[in-house]
Structure 1
Amino acid sequence: MKKKLSIIMALMLCISIFAGCSSTSSSKDNSLDNVKKEGVLKVGLSDDYPPMEFRDKDNKIAGFDIDVANEVAKKMGVKLKIVTNAYDGIFLALNSKKFDVVQSTVSITEDRKKKMLFSEPYINGGCAIFLKSGDNSIKSGDDLKGKVVGCQAGTTSQDALSKLSGLKDVKKYEATTDAFLDLQNGRIAAVVADPMVGDYYMVKNPGKFKKVEKYLGKEPIGAAFRKNDKALKDAYQKAYDELKKDGTITRISNKWFGYDVTKGDN
C-alpha cells in the first residue's frame, strides 16, 4: 500500500512539475525573438496625420514617425515594414498581431496603459484648438459651445470634445487633412488636434489658420506595444535612447519641425 501511495505521489509530483514547465513556456515573452527571427519590425500607423505620418506628393509614406521608426529598426538590426490602418481600429489590429508596434502619434493615457505597454514619451502632444485666421470669437474650450468642431476619429481629441457640453456637433474625420480642409472652407468652426500637427498646417498654409493659446489638455506621446511584449518594448526603448543620445532624433525633428520637438513642451 505504501509502495502504491509513493508511486501515486511521485506521479502527481511529475504532473505538477510538467504543468508548471508548460505554463512557464506558454507565458514566455517571445516578442523580441520573433522580430529578430523574421528580421522585420512591423510598425502600424494611420497615414493621414502630417507631418507625423502621411502620404507625400509621390504617394510614399513619409513623416517624423516613419523616420524615427526606420532608425530604430536599423539600430535593432532588422528591417522596417510599415503597415497602414485606420486610426479608430489601430489598437484592435495591434492586439490581433497585424503589426508589432503602433507608432502613430499615440497619446499615452491611463486607460490605454491598462491595455497596452508604452515606450517612454518622445513628444508632448495634446488637444490644441485651431481656427481660421481672423476668428477671434474662440479663446478657450468654453467658447466652442454652439459650434461644429472637427477632430480625427478614435483620438484623444475626440475624447476631450466628448467631455465638453453645449457643442452643436463633433464631426469625426478619418484623416486630419480633411478636417483642416473643412475648416479652411468654413464648414466647421474649429479643429482639435495635436499642437505640432496643427503647427505644421499653419506653416504649410501661411495666414490661413491660428492656434488658441489654451489647450483642452496636454498629453505625452509614445509607441504602443501589446501588454505582454515587454522584451520588444525594452529593445525598442534601448534603440531609441541610443538614437536620442547620438543626435539622430534631434536631426529628424529639425527636418520636420525646424526645432527639437522632443524637448520639453510644445
Structure 2
Amino acid sequence: MRKLKKSINIALAAIFAVVLLAGCGSNASTSSQGSDTNTLEKVKKAGVLKVGLEDSFPPMEFRDSQNALKGFDIDMANAIAKKLGVKAEFVGTEFNGIVLALKSGKFDVIISGMSITEDRKKQIDFSEPYVENAQIIITKTGNDTIKSSKDLAGKKVGVGLGTTSESVVKKFKDIKEVKKYDKTTEELQDLLIGRLDAVIVDEPVGRYYISSADKKGKYTVLNEKLTKEPMGIGFKKGDKELEAAVKKAVNELKQDGTMSKISTKWFGEDIYK
C-alpha cells in the first residue's frame, strides 16, 4: 500500500511539474512574441529609434573631419524621432547588407538615401518618397572620350556595392571592367587618380562630393540621367504602426517648414516647394 501510495504521489508530482513548465513556456512564448509584434511600442518604451545607415554617402549621411555624423538623413531622422518623443540612435552598416540587418532586427528603420526599387519592395516596406533621385555618370574633367552612356564600352566603371548603380551598369554589356566599392568617396577618388574612366552614382551624392572647393573643376557630370529613383524610408514587412507614425511625423515636418530647412541646408534649394 505504501509503495502504491508513493508511486501515485510521484506520478502526480511529475504531472504537476509538466503542467507548470508548459504554462511557463506558453507565457514566455507569448511575451516574446508580443515584444516583437509592435516596433513602435518598443521604440517608445525604450525612448530610442534605431536608424540603420551607411555613413559615407554625402550629403545624405557622412562623417566630417571630426568624425561627427552629419547629413540630410541625419537631420531628418533626428526630427522624426523628436516628433515621436524619442531620440535617434544611428547604427552604421555596410549598404550591401543593410536590408538583411533591418530584417534581423539590428535596427528599427533604414534612413540611408535608399532608392525604392521593386526588388527591395519584395523584402521590406517603404515610406512615400522624400527625395527624388537619379543615376548619373561622372567623368574626370578633360576625358572627352565619354559623352554619353554609349561611350562606356571598353571603359572601366565604378559603382557602389549593393546600390542601384550596380544594377544600372548591368545594362551596358560592352564595359571593359566594373569595379565595386563599399564607399562612394573611394570610387570618386579612384576616378580622379585614373583607376577608373567613369563612375555611376546617385545624383545628390555625386554632385555634393564634387562641389567642394578642393574638387571644383576636376569632375564632369554628363547631362544624361540613367534612371529615376525616389528615395524612401525602409521598414520591416508589416511594421504598419511604426510606418504610420513616421509618415505622420514627416508630413508634419513638411507642413511646419522643417523639411524645407533641411533641404536648403544640404541641397542649396528647397525641394519641397
Match of 1:227 among 229, 232, 237: 237
- The aligned residue for residue 64 of structure 2 is 56
Provide the C-alpha distance between the structure 2 equivalents of 1:91 and 1:147, rounded to a whole number of angstroms. 31
Identity %: 52
Q: Which amino acid aligns with 1:246?
A: D
- The aligned residue for residue 24 of structure 2 is none
Between the two proteins, the alignment pairs up a number of residues equal to 240
| Displacement after TM superposition at 1:26 (Å) | 6.6
Contact 1:130–1:210 (Cα < 8 Å) also in 2: yes
Given the superposition, is the C-alpha separation of residues 153 and 261 from structure 1 closer, same or farther in structure 2, using an over 3 Å criterion? farther
Pairing of 1:202-217 with structure 2 (within 5 A): 202-204=210-212, 205-217=215-227
| Displacement after TM superposition at 1:137 (Å) | 2.2
Pairing of 1:118-197 with structure 2 (within 5 A): 118-197=126-205
- The aligned residue for residue 69 of structure 1 is 77
Contact 2:91–2:107 (Cα < 8 Å) also in 1: yes
Runs of 4 or more above 3 Å deviation: 25-29
Q: Does the alignment pair 1:100 with 2:108?
A: yes
| Displacement after TM superposition at 1:66 (Å) | 0.4
Match of 2:252 among 225, 242, 246: 242
Q: Which amino acid aligns with 1:51?
A: P
Provide the C-alpha distance between the structure 2 equivalents of 1:120 and 1:255, rounded to a whole number of angstroms. 22
Q: Which amino acid aligns with 1:229?
A: D
Deviations 1:57-100 (CA, angstroms, capped at 9, x unpaired): 10111111001000000011111100000000111100010000
Given the superposition, is the C-alpha separation of residues 28 and 203 from structure 1 closer, same or farther in structure 2, using an over 3 Å criterion? closer
Contact 1:124–1:262 (Cα < 8 Å) also in 2: no
Provide the C-alpha distance between the structure 1 equivalents of 2:180 and 2:94, rounded to a whole number of angstroms. 13
Provide the C-alpha distance between the structure 1 equivalents of 2:228 and 2:189, rounded to a whole number of angstroms. 24
**Structure 1: segments with no counterpart, 5+ residues:** 1-21
- The aligned residue for residue 118 of structure 2 is 110
Contact 1:122–1:220 (Cα < 8 Å) also in 2: yes
Q: Which amino acid aligns with 1:37?
A: K
| Displacement after TM superposition at 1:134 (Å) | 2.3
Contact 1:107–1:126 (Cα < 8 Å) also in 2: no
TM-score norm. by structure 2 comes to 0.84
Provide the C-alpha distance between the structure 2 equivalents of 1:51 and 1:251, rounded to a whole number of angstroms. 14
TM-score norm. by structure 1 comes to 0.87
- The aligned residue for residue 92 of structure 2 is 84
Given the superposition, is the C-alpha separation of residues 27 and 43 from structure 1 closer, same or farther in structure 2, using an over 3 Å criterion? closer
Q: For 2:266, what is the secondary structure of its paired residue?
A: helix
Q: For 1:227, what is the secondary structure of its paired residue?
A: coil
| Displacement after TM superposition at 1:216 (Å) | 1.6
Please state which structure has a larger fraction of its residues in strand: 1
Deviations 1:103-128 (CA, angstroms, capped at 9, x unpaired): 11100011111211101101111211
Provide the C-alpha distance between the structure 2 equivalents of 1:213 and 1:27, rounded to a whole number of angstroms. 50
Deviates more, 1:221-230 or 1:253-262: 253-262
Given the superposition, is the C-alpha separation of residues 169 and 262 from structure 1 closer, same or farther in structure 2, using an over 3 Å criterion? farther
- Computing the radius of gyration over CA atoms, which structure comes out larger, 1 or 2? 2
**Structure 2: segments with no counterpart, 5+ residues:** 1-29
Contact 2:35–2:42 (Cα < 8 Å) also in 1: no
Given the superposition, is the C-alpha separation of residues 114 and 262 from structure 1 closer, same or farther in structure 2, using an over 3 Å criterion? farther
| Displacement after TM superposition at 1:262 (Å) | 4.8
- The aligned residue for residue 13 of structure 1 is none
